[in-house]
């Protein structure tokens, strides 16, 4: 149907139709949520909404003090939908996401959760719609669709997969309500086919370097309308007279944050010793006969994954080759049982952190969990590591040891404080919301 109409005044040009991609993804999520069960093929296990609930339940069973959730963004609002939640794009795309697909695989294959048995089709279904939405929502030049891009192949394969799924309904192999609604299926086909045709036209005929498919979504037109309306509103610009004096405004006294950082530097400067991190690996890491079948606690896998992220961030603070090499793991590290989640999420860009660095981050995490509720959590976490894990206070570069170790402590503890505060604020808001609802039932 996307080639039936020509432009009214230029018959040699075609009008290309789109169904809004975010809206289509919401419809897919809503169908699965309402029916609970979908089936792609009569010979395969069904796609089950309950598997998402199981993953969330497993995440919720972890301590809120420890960053051990495979899908930290998923909440009850993602899974128990009201009318507003059904209209929120974010809730749909975060459920049908790569993180959710990998979490299902991680808990099933590496944590051996019995409730996730036969969840392979749900994992595949989730991964397919994650890839489809990514291809239909390219925002930045670095990820735009190019002539060599895999996104066009992803869309073509997804159209074929959708057609095969529908063919089972037509043949009577599966029930009609085990498939998407006709409007959703047709909307997805039109959007994917139109995206392929328009992208090829812009790349091959018009000479575009890349195509940002996010620009084709309805949200972009809505945002443009709002921006245009805002331009019509007169803006008041405040000018500060150049003769204005800022005396007394700037406080010359060091902030409490800077005082804590200075204290940390002084402590580490006297305690950190020069030592090769690779020579300090304990026997548990020296055996290269790793087996991914060994069950490792989920919190260790998540912490290892986070450690790789922290390692990448810390490396931005130095150009010293000795310091940079200290954070790099070995080729064997991908075989570590603790690297299971990193292996699942990696697309070739995630780091496998140095084992000594992982042990240091684990020690800092222990201290943070112990003192998370304490107002002096920053200082007490540092003191805990110094007292309980003094043997980890080493660094290969004698010149930059204090600077880098200070950055490690400062970055990780600050990151965890922000994360913990966010979780606590969410819990407070939920409690306040419940109290407000209850108060309306009580007459005063």
Distance of CA 332 to the CA centre of its chain: 26
Task: Give the span between the Cα atoms of 417 and 394, in whole angstroms.
Answer: 25
Q: What residue has token string 């304990």?
A: 282
Of the listed ranges 141-150, 251-260, 318-327, the one predicted with least confidence? 251-260
Segment 54-76, tens digit of pLDDT: 999 999 887 767 777 889 899 99
Most confident by average pLDDT, 149-153, 244-248, 283-287: 149-153
Per-residue model confidence (pLDDT) at position 278: 66
Q: State whether residue 38 is helix, strand or coil.
A: strand
Q: For residue 1, what pLDDT band results from cuts at 50, 70 and 90? A: very low
- HSE-CB at 188 with a 13 A cutoff on CA atoms is 25
Residue scoring higher pLDDT (171 or 255)? 171
Q: Where residue 8 falls among pLDDT bands split at 50, 70, 90?
A: low
Mean local confidence (pLDDT), 154-160: 96
Report the chain's mean pLDDT, rounded to a whole number. Answer: 84
**Residue 354 reports pLDDT greater than 80:** yes
Q: What six digits make up the tokens of 294?
A: 């060994």
d(CA 376, CA 436): 32
Residues belonging to the chain: 444
Q: What is the dihedral of CA 110, 115, 120, 123, to 10 degrees?
A: -90
Which pLDDT score is estimated for 118? 94
Cα–Cα distance between 2 and 18 in angstroms, integer? 8
Can you give the pLDDT at residue 109?
A: 92
The pLDDT score that the predictor gives to residue 232 is 54
- Do 397 and 326 contact (CB within 8 A), yes or no? yes
53-89 burial code (b ≥16 CB/10 A, e <16): ebbbebbeebeebbbbbbbeebbeebbebeeebeebb
Nearest to 29 by CA among 176, 130, 158: 130
Query: Is the CB of residue 395 less than 8 Å from the CB of residue 272?
Result: yes
Average pLDDT over residues 332-346: 87
- Contact by Cβ (8 Å): 179, 146: no
Q: What was the pLDDT predicted at 154?
A: 96
Using 50, 70 and 90 to split pLDDT, how confident is the model at 440?
confident
Per-residue confidence band for 157, with pLDDT thresholds at 50, 70 and 90: very high
Q: Which of 12-21, 113-122, 138-147, 300-309 has the lowest mean pLDDT?
A: 12-21
Question: Is the model's pLDDT at 210 over the cut of 80?
Answer: yes
> Do residues 70 and 99 lie in contact, with contact meaning Cβ atoms separated by under 8 Å?
yes
pLDDT category of residue 256 using cuts at 50, 70 and 90: confident
Using a pLDDT cut of 90, give the percent of the chain over it.
48
Q: Supply the pLDDT for residue 289.
A: 44
- Encode pLDDT of 211-248 as tens digits: 999 988 876 666 666 665 566 554 444 444 444 444 44
232: left (phi over 0), alpha (psi -120 to 50) or beta: alpha
* Share of residues in the chain with pLDDT > 70 (%): 84
What are 205's two structure tokens?
């005929």
The answer, yes or no, to whether residue 291 has pLDDT greater than 60, is: no
Q: What are the pLDDT digits (tens) for 80-96?
A: 998 888 988 999 999 99
| C-beta of residue 70 within 8 angstroms of C-beta of residue 340 | no
- The whole-model pTM stands at 0.75
| Interatomic CA distance for residues 192 and 21, integer angstroms | 9
User: In Å, how far from its chain's centre is CA 343?
Assistant: 15
């Amino acid at each position: 149907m996307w080639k039936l109409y020509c432009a009214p005044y230029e018959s040699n040009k075609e009008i290309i139709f789109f169904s809004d991609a975010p809206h289509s993804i919401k419809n897919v999520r809503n169908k699965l949520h309402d029916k609970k069960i979908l089936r792609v093929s009569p010979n395969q296990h069904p796609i089950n909404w309950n598997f998402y609930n199981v993953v969330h339940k497993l995440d919720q069973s972890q301590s809120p003090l420890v960053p051990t959730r495979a899908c930290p963004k998923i909440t009850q609002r993602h899974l128990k939908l009201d009318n507003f939640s059904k209209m929120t794009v974010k809730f749909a795309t975060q459920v049908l996401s790569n993180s959710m697909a990998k979490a299902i695989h991680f808990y099933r294959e590496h944590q051996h959760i019995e409730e996730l048995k036969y969840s392979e089709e749900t994992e595949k279904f989730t991964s397919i719609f994650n890839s489809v939405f990514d291809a239909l929502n390219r925002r930045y030049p670095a990820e735009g669709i190019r002539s060599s891009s895999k996104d066009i192949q992803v869309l073509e394969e997804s159209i074929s997969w959708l057609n095969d799924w529908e063919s089972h309904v037509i043949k009577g192999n599966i029930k009609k309500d085990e498939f998407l609604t006709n409007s959703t299926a047709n909307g997805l086909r039109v959007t994917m086919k139109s995206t392929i045709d328009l992208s090829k036209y812009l790349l091959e005929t018009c000479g575009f370097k890349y195509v940002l498919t996010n620009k084709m979504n309805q949200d972009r037109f809505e945002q443009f309308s709002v921006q245009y309306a805002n331009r019509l509103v007169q803006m008041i610009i405040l000018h500060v007279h150049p003769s204005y004096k800022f005396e007394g405004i700037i406080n010359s006294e060091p902030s409490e944050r800077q005082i804590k950082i200075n204290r940390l530097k002084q402590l580490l400067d006297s305690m950190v010793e020069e030592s090769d991190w690779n020579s300090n690996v304990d026997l548990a890491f020296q055996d290269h006969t790793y087996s991914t079948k060994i069950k490792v606690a989920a919190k260790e896998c998540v912490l290892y994954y986070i450690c790789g992220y922290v390692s990448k961030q810390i490396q931005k603070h130095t150009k010293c080759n000795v310091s940079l090499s200290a954070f790099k793991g070995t080729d064997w590290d991908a075989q570590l049982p603790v690297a299971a989640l990193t292996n699942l999420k990696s697309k070739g860009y995630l780091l496998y952190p140095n084992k000594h660095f992982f042990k240091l981050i684990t020690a800092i995490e222990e201290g943070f969990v112990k003192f998370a509720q304490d107002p002096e959590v920053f200082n007490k976490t540092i003191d805990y590591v110094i007292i309980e894990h003094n043997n980890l206070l080493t660094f290969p570069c004698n010149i930059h040891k204090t600077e880098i170790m200070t950055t490690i402590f400062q970055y990780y503890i600050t990151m965890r404080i922000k994360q913990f505060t966010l979780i606590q604020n969410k819990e407070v808001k939920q409690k306040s919301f419940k109290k407000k609802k209850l108060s309306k039932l009580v007459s005063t």
